[in-house]
Structure 1
Amino acid sequence: MICKIADKIINVMAEIMGLIGSILILYCMTFGVTDVFLRYALNSASQWIGASIQAAMVLIACMGGAYALKHGSFIKLDLFYEKFSARKKAICDIITSTLTFAFLGVLIWKGVDAALMSIKFNQTTPTSIPIPIYPVKTAIPLAACVVLLIVTQQFMRDVKTVVKGSKKQ
């Protein structure tokens, strides 16, 4: 019962992150075109659009990464993997997930350090219009925690497939 609730919560978080990522893509497109129009048509460059788009692109990677992982949208080398049985695929996924756990552990650890430092110093962009950087730096380890939950969820499914021989979802 608790596992099903946790699965639903993780799924909802991934969907929300995907929605946020898609909204940020629209933001980048809209303001990117606006910036080009202001710069070339009106000869009036923006002082804040470029920095805000850079921050939005970092957030797109954070949000979109969790969503893409949840939906299996990352590109894989299926040359051999596609022909494997469900059990063999699960074994390969378990082996590679150890590297993923290590990467996410370091990303969370160092990301929290960077976010706390950024908050402590109230870090902003070095532009004439200072935009706070600490919200973006805080979002990185938070998104990594959600990705860790998704990877753990998939890891548990793979272990179940290896042990019980059930079909992989």
Structure 2
Amino acid sequence: MPRAVIAYLRFVEALNYRVGRLAMWSLFVLMAVLGWGAIARAGFTPQIWTDEMAQFLLLGYFMLGGAYALQMGSAVRMDLLYSRWSDRTKAAVDAITIFTLLIYLGVLLWGGIESTQYALEYGERRRGMWRPYMAPIKIVMCIGIVLMILQCTAFLIRDIAKLRGIKIEERAA
């Protein structure tokens, strides 16, 4: 494999590993926001921002941690026949499914970018009492989709290499 391809694989996997680990820590922020909301409801005036902020944090956690979950093999795979197949057959099927996933993610990114542009141009706000701006969370969503696309292209490169009989060693990020 060309060095540039290996460098790309290492960069994408290291980036997604670090962003995923950072997203894991955001759960503590989420717990703090939810804890503050519960204390405020029980002890004094309820805070109007805690529920929506918790939703935004959970969405950020989900979107930024998605590529990391794929990388670590945490995604759910229905295994009726897969475990019985040879490595080449697995790589061929994985290449097809990753390619279709890339198409889906491309369409999702296209819609996400248009929605983000709208939110930035018109100052879109969420309905409700707190009325937070939507652009920041939409930007996070687009970043998460880009990270998923990068990770899927890394998987596709590895699968194509496996189909061609080329072994690419897997490095821990």
Runs of 4+ in 1 over 6 A off after TM superposition: none
Structure 2 equivalent of residue 6 of structure 1: 8
Structure 2 equivalent of residue 20 of structure 1: 22
Q: Superposition pairs for residues 79-158 of structure 1, below 5 Å?
A: 79-158=80-159
Please list the CA deviations of residues 69-109 of structure 1 after superposition, one character each: whole Å capped at 9, or x if unmatched: 11111111123211211111101101212220111011111
Please list the CA deviations of residues 95-141 of structure 1 after superposition, one character each: whole Å capped at 9, or x if unmatched: 21222011101111101000100011122233443322101111212
Provide the C-alpha distance between the structure 1 equivalents of 2:135 and 2:168, rounded to a whole number of angstroms. Answer: 43
Identical-residue share of aligned pairs (%): 21
Provide the C-alpha distance between the structure 2 equivalents of 1:74 and 1:2, rounded to a whole number of angstroms. Answer: 28
Provide the C-alpha distance between the structure 2 equivalents of 1:19 and 1:30, rounded to a whole number of angstroms. Answer: 18
Aligned residues: 168
15-24 or 52-61, which deviates more = 15-24
Aligned CA RMSD, in angstroms, stands at 1.9
Q: Which amino acid aligns with 2:62?
A: A
Give the Å deviation of 1:43: 4.0
Q: Which amino acid aligns with 1:22?
A: M
76-85 or 104-113, which deviates more = 76-85
Please list the CA deviations of residues 33-69 of structure 1 after superposition, one character each: whole Å capped at 9, or x if unmatched: 2211211x21421111111111111111111111101
Structure 1 equivalent of residue 78 of structure 2: 77
Secondary structure in 1 aligned to 2:64? helix
Identify unmatched segments of 5+ residues in structure 2: none
Provide the C-alpha distance between the structure 2 equivalents of 1:26 and 1:153, rounded to a whole number of angstroms. Answer: 30
Q: CA 1:19–1:134 in structure 2 vs 1: closer, same or farther (change >3 Å)? A: same
Q: Which amino acid aligns with 2:21?
A: L
Give the Å deviation of 1:166: 4.5
Give the Å deviation of 1:8: 2.2
Q: CA 1:92–1:100 in structure 2 vs 1: closer, same or farther (change >3 Å)? A: same
